[in-house]
Structure 1
């Protein structure tokens, strides 16, 4: 359809882009073709608008469309999440790395925030790390680790991580080895007064198991995840020792965390 064929198409570009951004925010995720049809403009025009809105940080451009930064939460792919809240994740990672002592055993779950933590551990030494995050072996400095273990299980391609038991066996058909760690660093999808949650049942079970095997637990979540509740509960607030985030939580959540004995760490 021609851009001059409808009243919508004749709108000023600035107004159209604002409407487009609002539509993506409301939808959560949308394709270029759907936007072209909805606004009555060409696919090339939509692509140019999306590229500009991505550069401005209004949304995240994806192959064939865009996703919202602040709209409804969908199970976004890793390539999209790597481009969201970058500064916040880096500040969280720096704080989280400060909780890790050289020579200790830590567990890291899947997520882009834990990938930032892995990079922030570059000056550490003699760490033993167990993770379900398939990207961590490529992200962490070899100088930082003594041993690195990756949990087996089914691979979720959208997160590039495994889901399954937090367990290892000595050999094929052998008995399970009881594993423990000094600190579990767990990135979650949401934090509310009811506890920590995520969008996938398998991920939730794995996070909970990691926490149960840890002497201490630090929950990692940027401010966009505060006051939200997702599908699968991971644990109640008191199951963690620390919440590492980029800005202080709202008063109601802050009070609940304090009552649960959770220390909130912010830059």
Structure 2
């Protein structure tokens, strides 16, 4: 019995990795790939969905975001990595040593966290567990962790307790990312995330919105904030020039991070 359970766990892990790697997969494809029945795939996907690994839909499963659901953290960490790296280096260049910085639970902010030692000494505040683990041993970083209810899909702490903790602070700089922006608003799919991001935007003396080019000219279910709430919008150099110009025409400061530059 134990070996069968272990085999099922191994199969589900491989199935999750398959969906994460491809972005989505049909029930039939998964059944053929793993040599099991469609009914077994249904049961496996139910469990993977309950763990926040994939999103099940009629006929298959997806790791990709939609206007209603955000993608799993494991999938987001593999997407637009070069663009996020460029954005992160640019954002760190905007941060003054000796200041305080608040980071949200986006993978773009995680890329920023990897380079914060370059601007040390800093006080860094975040609700993102992976960022906390990354920053904890970093020299010159005074780390403050925001608590709340842990959400494995996002690997972060959210909820009322987190919002309350954010609202009790004011940092020199806040760095957030969102799933979509139009030429007027920043959006996100999930209300628990939205409430924390809104609180963070209000808790910063200066707010930086860091978004890669795939987030432009899109909307999602919930408005996070008007773009006027951000002092700087940082996008990567793969952003369509016409989309950047529309943002600038609205009197937004838009910085371009050059992809591929060290």
**How many angstroms does 1:260 deviate by?**
3.6
Secondary structure of 1:122's counterpart equals: helix
> Where does the alignment leave 5 or more consecutive residues of structure 2 unmatched?
1-18, 36-52, 55-59
2:131 corresponds to: 136
> Where does the alignment leave 5 or more consecutive residues of structure 1 unmatched?
1-23, 46-61, 169-175
CA gap of 1:29–1:156, structure 2 versus 1, over 3 A, is: same
Among 210, 216, 241, the alignment partner of 1:220 is: 210
1:166 corresponds to: 163
Q: Which has the larger radius of gyration?
A: 1
Cα distance in 1 for residues equivalent to 2:167 and 2:174: 18
Cα distance in 2 for residues equivalent to 1:86 and 1:28: 15
Secondary structure of 2:176's counterpart equals: strand
Cα distance in 2 for residues equivalent to 1:137 and 1:252: 34
Aligned length: 213
Asked if 1:121 is matched to 2:116, the reply is: yes
> What is the TM-score with the length of structure 2 in the denominator?
0.71
Cα distance in 1 for residues equivalent to 2:97 and 2:240: 30
Among 224, 243, 248, the alignment partner of 2:233 is: 243
Cα distance in 2 for residues equivalent to 1:80 and 1:252: 26
Secondary structure of 1:123's counterpart equals: helix
Among 247, 250, 253, the alignment partner of 1:259 is: 250
**How many angstroms does 1:239 deviate by?**
0.7
Q: Is contact 1:151–1:167 with CA below 8 Å preserved after alignment?
A: no
2:82 corresponds to: 87
1:179 corresponds to: 169
Among 32, 35, 39, the alignment partner of 2:29 is: 35
Q: Is contact 1:192–1:253 with CA below 8 Å preserved after alignment?
A: no
Instruction: Deviation per CA, 1:216-253: give whole Å up to 9, x if none.
Output: 11111111111110111110111111111112444255
Secondary structure of 1:79's counterpart equals: helix
Higher mean Cα deviation, 123-132 or 227-236? 123-132
Cα distance in 2 for residues equivalent to 1:234 and 1:189: 10
CA gap of 1:181–1:44, structure 2 versus 1, over 3 A, is: same
**How many angstroms does 1:263 deviate by?**
2.9
Cα distance in 2 for residues equivalent to 1:166 and 1:177: 6
Runs of 4+ off more than 4 Å: 65-69, 71-74
Q: Is contact 2:125–2:143 with CA below 8 Å preserved after alignment?
A: yes
Q: Which has the higher contact order (CA 8 A, sep 6+)?
A: 2
CA gap of 1:206–1:109, structure 2 versus 1, over 3 A, is: same
> What is the TM-score with the length of structure 1 in the denominator?
0.70
Secondary structure of 1:264's counterpart equals: strand
CA gap of 1:157–1:205, structure 2 versus 1, over 3 A, is: same
Asked if 1:197 is matched to 2:191, the reply is: no
Tell me the C-alpha RMSD between the 2 structures: 3.0
